[in-house]
Amino acid sequence: MTASHPSQDEVEIRALVDLLAQAIRSKDVDLALSVFAPGVLSFDLGPALQHGGGEAFRERWRKLFHAYQGPIDYEVRDWVVAVSGDLAYSHSLNRTAGTTSAGEKVERWVRWTACYRRIDGRWRIDHEHVSVPADLRSGRAVLGAKP
């Protein structure tokens, strides 16, 4: 994103990402789903290899929000976007923190890449990829990595 003069598309996409962050912080499933295209394809942290939209996608958000007591702290950092016509992509480092339903305080940084498509004049997330680094020797995720 150009710091001095972002394009109107960049402003609209940033507002979409801000809306998603607001939805996560307030644990609002409907608001979270409103930023995604109906046929979204998600490569998220949990099994399986990929997730689609619809009721199954809604249920994944419900389960995520239920896993936390109270609000979720959510930060989007080092966000960069590129736009070309009706398609765009972005990448960022995102932090989630809060207290789990079991009372454990957690904080996790993830790498987030999103692809956007303008649908009926509105930007929507059409694909997202969430990942954490992996220790290739042990085959385990590195959940404590920080920028």
- pLDDT one-digit tens code per residue, 4-35: 688 999 999 999 999 999 999 999 999 999 99
Does residue 113 lie in a domain region? Answer: yes
Can you name the residues that pair with 116 across neighbouring β-strands?
A: 88, 125
Tokens of 28: 């609002």
Domain count for the chain: 1
Taking 60 as the threshold, does the pLDDT of residue 129 lie above it?
Answer: yes
Does residue 130 lie in a domain region? Answer: yes
28: containing domain? 8-141
Neighbours of 59 (CB within 10 A): 12
Does residue 3 lie in a domain region? Answer: no
Rounded average pLDDT over 82-102 = 98
Residue 74 per-residue DSSP state: E
Does residue 147 lie in a domain region? Answer: no
Integer-rounded Cα radius of gyration of the chain: 16
Does residue 146 lie in a domain region? Answer: no
From residue 97, alpha-carbon distances to 53, 70, 109, 137 in Å are 25, 11, 9, 28
Residue 110 per-residue DSSP state: E
CATH number at residue 29: 3.10.450.50
Does residue 33 lie in a domain region? Answer: yes
Does residue 107 lie in a domain region? Answer: yes
